[in-house]
Amino acid sequence: MTYSELNTPLRTIMTPGPVEVDPRVLRAMSTPILGQFDPAFTNIMNEVMDMLRKLFQTKNKWAFPVDGTSRSGVEALLCSIIEPGDKVLVPIFGRFGHLLTEICERYGADVHTMECRWGEVFQQETVIEEIKKVSPKVVAVVHGETSTGRMQPLEKIGAACREVDALLVVDAVASIAGAEVKVDEWCIDGIIAGTQKCLSVPAGMAPITYNERIEKVINSRKKVERGISTADDRQRESTMNRPMVKSNYFDVSMLQDYWSPRRLNHHTEATSMLFALREGLRIVLEEGLENRFKRHKFHETALTAGLEAMGLELFGDKANKLPTVTCVKVPGGVEADAVRSMLLEQFGIEIASSFGPLHGKIWRIGSMGFSCRQENILFVLSALEAVLVRHGVSIPTGKALQAALDVYTREKTEKPAPVASS
């Protein structure tokens, strides 16, 4: 059997992840490979750590990627701090709260959950009351829940965790680089991002950062692999009275040594992915965090204006909408997946369904990172209108694009004239 040259179709990807990769990132991935201990490469590692601190808005010492998809970062942080019997509180408002729960259960935690209806979020005071009631070691919460397109406010929860000496661990995979996330100001102890969403880098790395409070727990369970440990390492481990982390690959104490000046080998770094991450971070910082957040909100405004002008109903609590994901109720009598299939087959556009109780009831349209552009917003609106008409849905044709164009042209006319240089 012979195989043809790889030739993937061009797509307009408007899902909540993965998203289109910035061409500059793709170019960076073709950079020649370096050895993982080559000074030229370890300098790149240091640059990535520095840029991640800026992205997370933190002064934490530790900020580095875990090799693996977003879930690898979530599991690494949780398995490195959870010991059997530890109390963990998980507020659930969508699919990924259930994921946090399952990961914690697999590592022997005594998990306490609280749930609200999908499409809503918790009042921070409600979560704080539960924290005081349960007094957990860890509070694990999703910031941007892509399954429902909602964003959980966190500004007060971290301070409440400090009052009971609980660690706040946040899944910000869908929000980082697309919405405000202030790690230090919000008293977040550990946080996880992902490359395949607003960073516009292929899936394959999960940037994390954590503070001294988490580092203290990690170091109390610190283990060095036998084949590379020193006599001092073995002496220290002989006095440990805490169980070592159950996972080898996700043991953050080992990853910490790899990313520290010690450069103690843990795995072979995913070289090309690190090049990609570095370029993705450089692009984010070049644009500026505030400008990037405003851009995502701006294109979200145009998208939602178009959808509503089409007569479609948005799903979920508007006050706590995730700006990078827009959820749309499927009109009655329409086969949700048939619409998605036609968008892909006829227009090369991919949007997403949802999970669990929302599967087949909503569509999720992502506007993240490099995919968050005017031409993509206008294209998905025009294509969705055509497909819905084809499926017999009665909608006011032509209104969606005009509503979105109103947003775009209004922005241009309201911009102040540039200041002339002296």
Count of domains forming the chain: 2
**Mean pLDDT for the chain?**
96
Q: Which residues contact 205 (CB under 8 A, 6 or more apart)?
A: 65, 66, 67, 68, 194, 195, 270, 273, 274, 276, 277
Rg (CA), the chain: 23
Whether residue 5 lies inside any domain: the answer is no
State whether 45 and 87 are in the same domain.
yes
State whether 55 and 137 are in the same domain.
yes
Final residue of a structural domain among 261, 283, 305: 283
Final residue of a structural domain among 230, 252, 283: 283
Enter the tokens of residue 134: 């349960």
Q: How far apart are CA 229 and CA 303, in angstroms?
A: 55
Q: Domain containing 403 — which CATH number?
A: 3.90.1150.10
Q: What digits encode the pLDDT tens for the residues 99-145?
A: 999 999 999 999 999 999 999 999 999 999 999 999 999 999 999 99
Is residue 419's pLDDT more than 60?
Answer: no
Which residue do the tokens 């259960």 mark? 105
Helix (H) or strand (E) holding 149: none
State whether 71 and 29 are in the same domain.
yes
State whether 230 and 250 are in the same domain.
yes
Q: What digits encode the pLDDT tens for the residues 226-260?
A: 999 999 999 998 888 888 999 999 999 999 999 99
State whether 196 and 309 are in the same domain.
no
Final residue of a structural domain among 257, 283, 309: 283
Q: What digits encode the pLDDT tens for the residues 253-305?
A: 999 999 999 999 999 999 999 999 999 999 999 999 999 999 999 999 999 99
Q: Residue 259: how many CA atoms within 13 Å on its side-chain side?
A: 24
State whether 239 and 345 are in the same domain.
no
State whether 170 and 243 are in the same domain.
yes
Q: What digits encode the pLDDT tens for the residues 131-188?
A: 999 999 999 999 999 999 999 999 999 999 999 999 999 999 999 999 999 999 999 9
Percentage of residues in the chain having pLDDT higher than 70: 97
Q: Which domain holds residue 105?
A: 22-283
State whether 332 and 301 are in the same domain.
yes
State whether 238 and 341 are in the same domain.
no
Q: What digits encode the pLDDT tens for the residues 317-333?
A: 999 999 999 999 999 99
Query: Between helices 271-287 and 289-309, what is the axis angle to 10°?
Result: 80
